Structure 1
Amino acid sequence: MASNDPLADRVKGYPKRAGQIELRPEVAIFRRFGALNAENLLSKGTGDQHQLQLVYRIRETLKLYNKALIQQSQILAYSEPNQWDLTYLQNFLQNKYVMGVPFSGPDGSLWGSVPARKNYSPDLITLTPRQREDPFSGWVVEKAITRLFCCLRFKKPSRKHGVIGYEDATVLKITYWIMSILASLILIAFIVVLYCVPSMPTRLDVISAFNVLISVSLIAFTNAKRAEVFAITAT
């Protein structure tokens, strides 16, 4: 029976433990040596020569350990690459008119490829992550806009990027206006419907329906947290 262990090729012990951290950064759990660090701060350099040498050795070891711990924390804080950007990079690397011969060395599959989009290294990070907006804007930027490229066929290629494209800032401005208008229309529609409905039970149904609509709109068109969504819909 074939093994489903993604780390089957790693040596058991610390190498396999490190591989698990690569797959699940949340299990990067280490000691902070709180007492030893505090003792290092409290140490005044008193004691005999042997004790001082031991203190200096501990201090140097702690310095290296703490530095590595901080670096690891900073590295884990980096975001994963956006799927849109990763796809663009894959297309760029395998464009024979731009890159010529694709990478064929050990790093050939580091970013995946056009035939195998998902076959990229699981520990990729991006130094300049794409700005994360609300779910609706993210969907428009990454998904919907690609279907509108037919409208850009008469547009000249960008002097900066060399291809026909669009700026995220422009798309986000459009989605901002759409969401602002939609928010106003929901409120206007709510008032008009309540005015036109004479029956009190029906009005209660309308209020319930619009309450659900507001909750869905907050989730789809804003970055509101769960507590904020609950507080707004409950009041």
Structure 2
Amino acid sequence: MIDPSLSPIEGYPKLARHMGTYSECAIYRRFACLNSQNLLYFQAELTHLEQKLRRLEAADLVSTGENASIYSKDWYWLNNSASEENSEQLETVRAIRGRLKEYNDVLIQQSIISRLADPNTLNLRSLQNWLERPDMGNLALIGKDRDTWGASDEPLSHNMDLLATKSGGDSDAFSTWVSQKLVYWLHNIFWHRLKRVDDAESGICSYEDKTLQKYTSNITTIVASSLPILAIVVLNCVVAINARLGLMALFTVVFAACLSFFTNATRGEIFIATSTFAAVEVVFISTNNGMSSAST
């Protein structure tokens, strides 16, 4: 039995446990404006240092010093200028080196952060509801960050500057619809009577992504195998050539729509697959029509 004294207290500890347990609720501020402003400051500082370096290079080139005129041609003398009085160019180079490393690191981090997905509406609402319920988050946060996730009555008001560490991968439209809409709807209708709660305190139920992916994959396979067969059967039952051509156009459009909805196929892949499907239909119609004409 878990010692109650070890349970996280209200506030950040309890919220952290909830986010750690349900990774889809791990939603944080992106700080896009601050990150951009930080990069702009680095960029401005480096611009000043770059201009300073160019002035020093030009001045040293015409300098009457012993080795200053060859600093731009031989790194050895520039690196050893620290022992001389004219070491400002070397100091500037070293300052640029440090700032440039920081700038590149921040730039790469920002590039990675910008690719993290926005939280979907369902997960954001779930987190907002958890924060507001007295037996869960209980609105325990009282600092300036208490409104980070908005409120349940304004679910999208703060979505622009939020990110989710778990994006759900590159899901197709069908899988996204099942996980975010259909499962939620079915759970509210009758699955809540059958599904065991994960946390007795909060009453939260969760569904494994692998299980949902398994079912959506099976449905996609059934649709993919049934549509060509259905098209052939229907076209075989129709005699009039104009009706066949109309049905061929309809099945081709449906096939392309299914590719877009059930898969992550690119535009080029959809175009190629649809063209192949249409070509098969044309061959079938031509062959079948020729056989019908020969029999008459």
Q: CA deviation at 1:45?
A: 4.6
1:97 aligns with 2:128: no
Contact 1:82 1:130 in 2 (8 A): no
Equivalent of 1:120 in 158, 180, 193: 158
- Distance between the aligned counterparts of 1:178 and 1:43, measured in 2? 68
Choose the corresponding residue for 2:198, options 151, 155, 158: 158
Is residue 79–residue 125 contact of structure 1 (8 Å, CA) maintained in 2?
A: yes
Question: Structure 2: how far apart are the matches of 1:18 and 1:177?
Answer: 43
- Using the TM superposition, give the Cα deviation of residue 182 of structure 1 relative to its aligned residue in structure 2, in angstroms: 1.3
Contact kept in structure 2, 1:135 and 1:220, CA below 8 Å: yes
Corresponding pairs, count = 205
Q: How does 1:77-88 map to 2 (within 5 A)?
A: 77-88=115-126
Could you state the TM-score of these two structures normalised by the residue count of structure 2? 0.61
1:205 is aligned to 2:246: yes
Match of 2:174 in 1: 136
Query: Could you tell me which residue of structure 2 aligns to residue 229 of structure 1?
Result: 270
For 1:76, the aligned partner's letter is S
Task: Name the one with the larger helix percent.
Answer: 2
Deviation at 1:159, TM superposition (A): 5.2
Q: Is the contact made by 2:130 and 2:137 (CA closer than 8 Å) also made in structure 1?
A: yes
CA RMSD, Structure 1 to Structure 2 (Å):
2.9
Question: Contact 1:81 / 1:124 at 8 angstroms: preserved in 2?
Answer: yes
User: For the residues of structure 2 that align with 1:228 and 1:183, how far apart are their CA atoms?
Assistant: 15
Structure 2 runs not aligned, ≥5 long: 1-31, 38-42, 51-72, 277-296
Distance 1:166 1:59, change over 3 A: closer
CA distance in 2, matches of 1:54, 1:20: 26
Q: Does 1:181 align with 2:230?
A: no
Contact 2:179 2:212 in 1 (8 A): yes
- The answer as to 2:83 corresponding to 1:52 is no
Name the aligned partner's letter for residue 272 of structure 2. Answer: A
Higher relative contact order (CA 8 A, sep 6+): 2
The two structures have a TM-score, normalised by structure 1, of: 0.75
Three-state SS of the structure 2 residue aligned to 1:125 is strand
Other-structure match for 1:4: none
Please say if residues 46 and 52 of structure 1, whose CA atoms lie closer than 8 Å, have aligned partners that are also in contact.
Answer: no
Which has the higher Rg, Structure 1 or Structure 2? 2
Shift of the alpha carbon at 1:20? 11
